[in-house]
Amino acid sequence: MVVWFGLFGLGGPALYSGDAASEREVVQASAGMGPIAESGAKPVLIEQISYEPGKPSEGDAFPEAASLSENNKAAAAPQEQEQKQNQKQNEKLLYLTFDDGPSENTKQVLDILKREGIAATFFVLGEQVLKQPEIAKRIVAEGHAIGNHTFNHKYDRLYGSFAEFAGQVMKTDEAIYKTLGIRTTLFRAPGGTYSNFDQGYFDAMAEAGYQVHDWNVDSGDSKRVGVPAAEILSTIKKSKLAATLNVLLHDGKGHAESVKALPAILKYYKSKGYTFVPLTDQVKPIQFNVAKQLKWDRAKVSKPEKQSLIAFSEKLGRNSLLGQAEPNAPSLILHRGEQRLELSKEEYRLRNGSIEVPLLKLSEWVGGITKLDLEHGIIEAYYDGNQVLKLSSQTGKMTVEQSERMAVPVRATLEKFGIIITSVVYNDQQREIWLSA
Confidence of residue 82 (pLDDT cuts 50, 70, 90): very low
Cα 383 from Cα 369, distance rounded (Å) = 6
Beta strands per DSSP E along 294-368: 332-336, 339-343, 349-351, 354-358
Average pLDDT for 298-324: 77
Per-residue pLDDT band for 317 (boundaries 50, 70, 90) equals: low
Q: How far apart are CA 425 and CA 423, in angstroms?
A: 7
Dist. CA 340–CA 177, nearest whole Å: 37
Please check the confidence at residue 202 and state whether its pLDDT lies above 50. Answer: yes
Residue 46 has pLDDT above 50, yes or no: no
Yes or no: domain 79-289 corresponds to CATH 3.90.220.20: no
Whether residue 384 lies in the annotated active site: no
Rounded CA separation 11/74 (Å): 9
CB 216 within 8 A of CB 67: no
The residue among 124 and 407 whose pLDDT is bigger is 124
Q: Reply yes or no on whether the pLDDT at 425 is more than 70.
A: yes
Task: Return the minimum-mean-pLDDT range out of 119-123, 217-221, 342-346.
Answer: 342-346
The predicted structure's pLDDT at residue 19: 25
367 phi-psi bin (left φ>0, alpha ψ -120 to 50, beta other): left
Please report which confidence band the pLDDT of residue 79 belongs to, taking 50, 70 and 90 as the band edges: very low
Q: Which of 42-56, 98-112, 129-143, 250-264 has the lowest mean pLDDT?
A: 42-56
CA distance 213 to 205: 11
CB-facing half-sphere around the CA of 184: CA atoms within 13 A: 32
Q: What is the pTM of this model?
A: 0.59
Domain residue spans of the chain: 2-54+321-435, 79-289
**C-alpha distances in Å from residue 276, one per residue of 22, 91, 117, 267, 272:** 14, 11, 9, 12, 12
CA distances from 288 to 54, 94, 193, 202, 220 (A): 12, 18, 6, 11, 17
The listed range with the strongest mean pLDDT (11-25, 74-88, 411-425) is 411-425
**Rounded Cα gap, residues 4 and 16, in angstroms:** 17
What are the backbone dihedrals phi and psi of residue 84, each rounded to the nearest 5 degrees, phi first?
-65, -40
The Cα 171–Cα 174 span in angstroms is 5
CB 89 within 8 A of CB 71: no
Which of 203, 250, 255, 281 is catalytic? The answer is 250
- Give the range among 152-166, 196-210, 319-333 with minimum mean pLDDT: 319-333
Specify burial of residue 373 (Cβ count, 10 A radius: 0-12, 13-18, 19+).
Answer: buried
Answer yes or no: 428 catalytic. no
Dihedral sign, CA of 139, 409, 360, 426?
positive
pLDDT of 349 > 50? The answer is yes
Quick one: pLDDT band at residue 352, thresholds 50, 70, 90?
low
Give the amino acid at 74: A
pLDDT for 135 equals 98
Average pLDDT across the chain, whole number:
78
Cβ-contact 65, 9 below 8 angstroms: no
Residues in the chain: 437
Res. 51: pLDDT tops 80: no
Could you tell me the pLDDT band of residue 205, with boundaries at 50, 70 and 90?
very high
d(C-alpha 218, C-alpha 167), whole Å = 28
More confident residue, 122 or 42: 122
- Rounded distance, CA 395 to CA 29, Å? 12
Q: 52, 69, 85: which is closest to 7 by C-alpha?
A: 69
Give yes or no for a contact between 278 and 144, defined as CB atoms under 8 angstroms apart.
Answer: yes
Say whether pLDDT at 36 is over 60. no
